[in-house]
Structure 1
Amino acid sequence: MTFSRGAVEEIAAALAASGLILRGGFSFGDDQVAPAGPSGAPAKSVLLVGQAGAAPWPHFQRWLGQQARDIANPLDTWSREVIGAVAQGRGARAVSPSDRPYLPFQQWAMRAEGLKPSPLGILMHPTYGLWHAYRGALLFEDEIPLPDAHVAIHLCDICVEKPCLKSCPVDAYSGQGFAHEACLGHVRGPRGEPCRSGGCLDRNACPFGTDYRYPPEVQAFHMAAFARL
């Protein structure tokens, strides 16, 4: 399959029908170990698929209302179905961040969009702030003509106060990394109601990308998934 700008735009339009967007991409170098493409041969190019803000939420909710109540990992399942359907007939293999063995999605995202991690580990986007996500990727055995990613301004470098490191009651994030057990214990405990209902206090304290902040019900959904770990 020969790729043109029109083919990439067609993929973007198909994803947009479910609230998803292309998040950049790149071609693997000859000296890089690439994952398998649709035929099993090494992929030559990858397109990242994700979201900005909560645009996929209504599409996901409609789908969820048609599923069994006890469906496991519903958002991952929905994402796989949507991205997998887009891959069909377009010479692509769809992969997910939760696939085993894990693929280096964060490294791919940093390369595709020129982003860097925030103190919370989430990549900081110059427009979306911390309110974005990567839901999957499309692997191709053809080279896709894509412009090189420009290194984005890293907003964390100009943020002096760092409120994202001062809002958590149990100091879950620090220079030593993420205190998973302390965070989980707090979220599950009696004082964790604000986190359970409205999301991570540190993440919400970030002053950037607030127009894309997930609504409370979306944040509560993600926090509930975290608390079940």
Structure 2
Amino acid sequence: MVERLAAHQLEILGGFHATGESALPPGTRTLLLIGPKEPGFWPHVTSQPEWDGTPDPIDRWSRRVIGRVACDIGAKALFPFGGPPYHPFYQWALRTGRVWDSPVRLLVQATQGLMVSFRGALAIKDVLALPPPAIRPCDSCAKPCLTACPAGALGEAGYDVPACHAWLSAGDRDCMKSGCLVRRACPVSQAYARMPEQSAYHMGQFHK
């Protein structure tokens, strides 16, 4: 399965063993959360047929690719988009031992930091070995994320979305070109090879 995902620049970001939760497909014994694998994700996904100028190319690509992997291994593909209702990816992530609630309330992942994103999940009827738990990086961090937002829109109190939009609308902001400064301030994020072009695309989608 790892090789199947890697062929599409995807990887397993964490998982947990399930015991009949109603939020999961019947018979699910293992849930694996799937996200971009770097380096190389952005050049790969933007070369795919879904990148055709019509809406939601990454979501459409995710449905096709993760859906195909699920069919190949006899699993069920679940996605963080397409609702409401939405699958509880935030809560699922916290169960993996590799993703945590950060000081700014966004999720932080063991290798991707605050750049973590999920393209989907695989609900599997077998009990599979899981990526090992990791140590929460925030526990030994100076927490630069708490003071990185120039608009004061993201801190201990969470995310003030209107304040963020107001800041972005006020002028030529580096956040729009290279991604959220809070996410980029995370030391783990800085070691993760996400391209600025990808962050700029998502910022553009957010601030339409």
Normalised to the residue count of structure 1, the TM-score between the two structures is 0.80
1:96-153 per-position Cα deviation (integer Å, ceiling 9, x unaligned):
111321111122222124421212333223333223321101112x222324842x22
Tell me which amino acid in the other structure corresponds to 1:23. Answer: L
Preserved CA contact (<8 Å) 2:110 2:136: yes
1:3-18 residue pairs with structure 2 within 5 A? 11-18=1-8
What residue number does 2:144 align with?
163
Normalised to the residue count of structure 2, the TM-score between the two structures is 0.88
Quick one: distance in 2 between partners of 1:177 and 1:209?
19
Preserved CA contact (<8 Å) 2:168 2:176: yes
What residue number does 2:74 align with?
91
Unaligned runs of 5+ in 2: none
Quick one: distance in 2 between partners of 1:179 and 1:108?
24
Quick one: distance in 1 between partners of 2:110 and 2:93?
14
Quick one: distance in 2 between partners of 1:34 and 1:43?
10
Measured at CA, do residues 79 and 93 of structure 1 come closer, stay the same or move farther in structure 2, by a change above 3 Å?
same
Tell me which amino acid in the other structure corresponds to 2:70. Answer: A
What residue number does 1:154 align with?
136
Correspondence for 1:73 among 36, 39, 56 = 56
The share of aligned pairs that are identical, in percent, is 37
Q: CA RMSD in A?
A: 2.2
Quick one: distance in 2 between partners of 1:22 and 1:115?
12
What residue number does 1:135 align with?
119
Report how many aligned residue pairs link the two structures: 207
Q: Which runs of 4+ in 1 moved over 4 A?
A: none
Quick one: distance in 1 between partners of 2:70 and 2:182?
36
Correspondence for 2:10 among 6, 20, 23 = 20
Preserved CA contact (<8 Å) 2:14 2:99: no
Tell me which amino acid in the other structure corresponds to 1:173. Answer: L
- Where 2:77 maps in the other structure, the secondary structure is strand
What residue number does 2:196 align with?
216
1:33-71 per-position Cα deviation (integer Å, ceiling 9, x unaligned):
2422xxxx443322221124453211111015x6432x1
Correspondence for 1:62 among 41, 44, 47 = 47
